[in-house]
Amino acid sequence: MNVKKEEKRSKEKAQWAKFTYVGKETIVITELFENTNVKVSFTTDNTIGKLLAKRHQCTKNKYENCGIYRLTCPTCNMKYAGQTGRSFKVRFHEHFRDFRYGNRKSKFATHLLDNRHSIGPLESVMETLHVTNKGRMMDTLERFYIFRETKLNNQINDKLTVKPNIVFETIVQRDPHTGLPAASIL
């Protein structure tokens, strides 16, 4: 009788079930379908596209979020990339205060002071690059943006902090046809 059931199952069209892989528990659960007519496939929500995609949250003021930002010197267009767990607006005012009072805590303020450059308003100096919370993702994104500006030879950040990174190098390679960075989507 078991042989007849097996033959009947093999003749029926297989159905597919999709499981999001979350660890070894997923394997245990999917093994229950081993002797059935249900085939199993695995998916993940942790793709490189989702990790690197810009995730701007809808708020009235984009400067109320936290994440990765870039400051541009209004005089020479050199760039400073940074991260903040506080709002972008609060972090800009810290850079502004360091510039105004001659403090050299901020690399951006130090650049402005050393070169006798001026500072502009928040909206013209600061660009929000990526909205995210503090953690490894924020750290990695900051390193990427500093790496990219270093490759373009226009960064204000400490050049000694930039380390070779084959993944970043691949992302910022220049398109031979346009001369633009391949990572212009980021």
In a domain, 186, yes or no: no
Residues 42 and 58 in one domain: no
Distance between CA atoms of residues 111 and 99, nearest Å:
9
3-state secondary structure string across 125-179: HEEEEEECCCCHHHHHHHHHHHHHHHHCCCECCCHHHCCCCHHHHHHCCECCCCC
Residues 41 and 57 in one domain: no
- The pLDDT tens digits for 34-45 are 888 888 887 777
Task: Look up residue 148 and give its two tokens.
Answer: 């990219």
Q: What pLDDT is attached to residue 185?
A: 45
Residues 85 and 125 in one domain: yes
Better pLDDT: 15 or 65:
65
Residues 60 and 103 in one domain: yes
Residues 40 and 60 in one domain: no
Residues 82 and 33 in one domain: no
Q: What pLDDT is attached to residue 159?
A: 72
Please tell me whether residue 17 adopts helix, strand or coil conformation.
strand
Residues 117 and 131 in one domain: yes
Residues 130 and 157 in one domain: yes
Residues 97 and 137 in one domain: yes
Residues 68 and 114 in one domain: yes
Residues 41 and 111 in one domain: no
Phi, psi of 129 (to 5 degrees): -95, -40
Mean pLDDT of 91-105: 95
Q: Is the pLDDT confidence value at 169 over 90? A: no
Give the rounded percent of residues in the chain with a pLDDT score beyond 90.
Answer: 41
Q: Domain range spanning residue 39?
A: 2-46
In a domain, 184, yes or no: no
Mean pLDDT of 146-158: 88
Residues 56 and 23 in one domain: no
Give the chain's mean pLDDT.
81
In a domain, 58, yes or no: yes
Better pLDDT: 24 or 99:
99
SS3 content of the chain, % helix, strand, coil (to 5): 40, 20, 40
Q: Please work out, in degrees rounded to the nearest 5, the angle formed at the alpha carbon of residue 127 by the alpha carbons of 116 and 109.
A: 25
Q: How confident is the model at residue 177 (pLDDT cuts 50, 70, 90)?
A: very low
Q: Is the pLDDT confidence value at 93 over 60? A: yes
Better pLDDT: 151 or 89:
89
Pairing assessment for the beta strands 79-84 and 126-131 based on DSSP bridges: unpaired
In a domain, 110, yes or no: yes
Half-sphere exposure of 94 (CA within 13 A, CB side): 12
Task: Look up residue 33 and give its two tokens.
Answer: 């379908």
Phi, psi of 130 (to 5 degrees): -155, 125
Better pLDDT: 133 or 177:
133
Better pLDDT: 47 or 115:
115
Considering its fold, how many domains does the chain have in total? 2
Better pLDDT: 143 or 181:
143
In a domain, 125, yes or no: yes
